[in-house]
Amino acid sequence: MYVAVKGGEKAISAAHAWLDETRRGDTALPELTVAQIEQQMSLAVDRVMAEGSCHDRFLAALAIKQAKGDLIEAAFLLRAYRTTLPRFGASLPLETNRMRLRRRISATYKDLPGGQVLGPTFDYTHRLLDFALAAEGREASAAPEAPTDAPDVPRVTEILVREGLMQREALGEAEPGDLTREPLSFPAPRPLRLQNLARGDEGFLLALGYSTQRGYGNAHPFVGEIRVGHIGVEIAPAELGFAINIGDIGITECQMVNQFKGSRTEPAQFTRGYGLVFGHGERRAMSMALVDRGLRSRELGEEADAPAQQEEFVLYHSDNIEATGFVEHLKLPHYVDFQSELENLRTIRRAAEAELREAAE
Amino acid sequence: MTQPDTPSPKSARQKWMAVLARASAQELADGLAALPALPEAEMLRAPETGLVMVRGRAGGDGDAFNLGEMTVTRCAMRLGAHIGHAYIAGRDHAKARLAALLDAALQDTARHDAVMQTIVEPLATAQQEARAVEARKAAATRVDFFTMATMR
């Protein structure tokens, strides 16, 4: 039986008022400002911009405040906001060899042009809780400076390409597909896969990337290069007829170098997995690069039976906004669905009991 | 670490637009206040915030792909015979209006030099210095391997 129900408005309104109160927490403490979140929770902001697929530090920080620090909820808020804005166009592709570097490391060459630049990193910290941070009002130490000779910083992949040991990337003029405009179809070309991964859930990408290292996908990756820094974004508006720089964004890039046994047409060589993300997100860029390489298995003629190589599985489950929507919708009223399940089960039971009685008679 | 992050060579207008895009609304307003008042400008396109899809390249140098969007605000102003445009990252309408107005003033040969000297050049210097500081901090974290010294 179908019964239309209404109600709950008062309860919902009270629940949201309580949410508001708990968001604020103890009013004896000062309220967090959006600017504080933007400055002091900068990696959370970066993650929300990446998964929300919208670069705007203030909006991401506001979303984090509104979501009480739930980063998936914050990314959801950012995605919802972006749907209210018109699209002016697309940028020229970022030429990441021109980015201003804060950090640049390679795990494949110790002594490479441009050197190993550590930048502001958690690496080599002891992961001991620093109780000095609990004492507020402490001055942060100033970062030391050293003279810079503006060295040339070539890509590690370019070094391998020049030696003939790595495939050069395909370079076409085709307009890349856009997930936000057309639904995914399979097989998905690499640009679409990269767009999907760039906004994918960090935990999902991390777990899949990890699985390829542990044997589900036969990957033997090396970090050719990680670059963290800023780059100017350029667009070419029709009314101007030339490209203009609209401002800087932070990005992280990872070039993962993988072995490739060769095929009938290709000699044995290195291939790359690529990761590029908004903000400072090395774990995310590395995971993306591992999964990108996994998803290239089929086009490279390799076996593709591991989870990270299954294009449909990976691309359909990477998006945490879609995933959380479908998982969390289970909380919403399913009274009618469940009523029919109950009816169903009772009917089956009655039939089985009737059969038993007949058999006994 | 201080390589140009956009292709060169650039026209003078491209350069000043890049400087204006990276400045804050406050910096532009302060600069404008230090100049002789500009005549009434006509708003051709009121500040509007939208999105630009940022593109990357597969492998860093291959096929373009859509990385994700960013917020951008645009504005167009007419000052006399000149039309100034602004496309700036973010959602600051006041800054877009000021940048468009200054772009128009900079195209006017009678005003160009004063605007360059009072606003654009000091901002460009400050922006360059901020980058140089960042580059020097990065340089301080460059690893010197002991074995490298003997290998060279």
Cβ within 8 Å, pair B57-A91: no
Residues A73-93 have pLDDT tens digits of 999 999 999 999 999 999 999
**pLDDT at B118 (0 to 100):** 96
Q: What percent of chain A is modeled with pLDDT above 90?
A: 77
Cβ within 8 Å, pair A118-B135: no
Bond preceding residue A189 cis, omega within 30 of 0: no
- Least confident among A166-180, A245-259, A310-324: A166-180
How far is B84 from chain A, CA to nearest CA, in Å? 10
Q: Which of A55, A148, A150 sits opposite B54 (nearest CB)?
A: A55
- Least confident among A211-220, A342-351, B128-137, B140-149: B140-149
How far is B118 from chain A, CA to nearest CA, in Å? 21
Residues A117-176 have pLDDT tens digits of 999 999 989 999 988 888 877 788 899 999 987 678 889 999 999 999 998 888 888 899
Residue A9 and residue A266: Cα distance in Å, rounded? 65
Count CB pairs under 8 A between chains A and B: 262
Non-local CB neighbours of A200 within 8 Å, separated by 6+ positions: A51, A288, A291, A318, A319, A320
Instruction: Tell me the one-letter amino acid at A79.
Output: R
Please state the pTM of the whole predicted model: 0.92
**pLDDT at B5 (0 to 100):** 47
Residues of chain B in contact with residue A247, where contact means CB-CB under 8 angstroms, are 21-22, 88-90
Q: Provide the ipTM.
A: 0.92
Nearest CA in chain A to B88: A246
Q: Which of A82, A148, A276 sits opposite B135 (nearest CB)?
A: A148
Residues of chain B in contact with residue A171, where contact means CB-CB under 8 angstroms, are 61-63
When scoring B22, B66, B106 by the number of chain A Cβ atoms within 10 A, the one with the most, hence best to mutate, is B66
**pLDDT at B9 (0 to 100):** 58
Write out residues 155-214 of A within 8 Å (CB-CB) of B: 155, 157-158, 168-172, 174-180, 190-192, 194-195, 198-199
Question: What number of other Cβ atoms are within 10 A of residue A123's Cβ?
Answer: 9
Residues B106-129 have pLDDT tens digits of 999 999 999 999 999 999 999 999
Residues A198-248 have pLDDT tens digits of 999 999 999 999 999 999 987 889 999 999 999 999 999 999 999 999 999
**pLDDT at A191 (0 to 100):** 96
Residues A284-315 have pLDDT tens digits of 999 999 999 999 998 888 888 999 999 999 99
**pLDDT at A170 (0 to 100):** 86
**pLDDT at A294 (0 to 100):** 95
- The answer to whether A215 contacts chain B (CB < 8 Å) is no
**pLDDT at A361 (0 to 100):** 79
Instruction: Tell me the one-letter amino acid at A287.
Output: S
**pLDDT at A14 (0 to 100):** 96
Q: What percent of chain A is modeled with pLDDT above 70?
A: 98
Cβ within 8 Å, pair A148-B76: no
**pLDDT at B148 (0 to 100):** 46
- Least confident among A332-336, B31-35, B128-132, B133-137: A332-336
Cβ within 8 Å, pair A190-B70: no
**pLDDT at A59 (0 to 100):** 98
Contact between A224 and A256 (Cβ < 8 Å): yes
**pLDDT at A4 (0 to 100):** 61
**pLDDT at A307 (0 to 100):** 95
- The answer to whether A62 contacts chain B (CB < 8 Å) is no
Cβ density class A5-44: b for 16+ within 10 Å, e for less: eeeeeeeeeeeeeeeeeeeeeeeeeeebebeebbeebbeb
Average of per-residue pLDDT across A35-46: 98
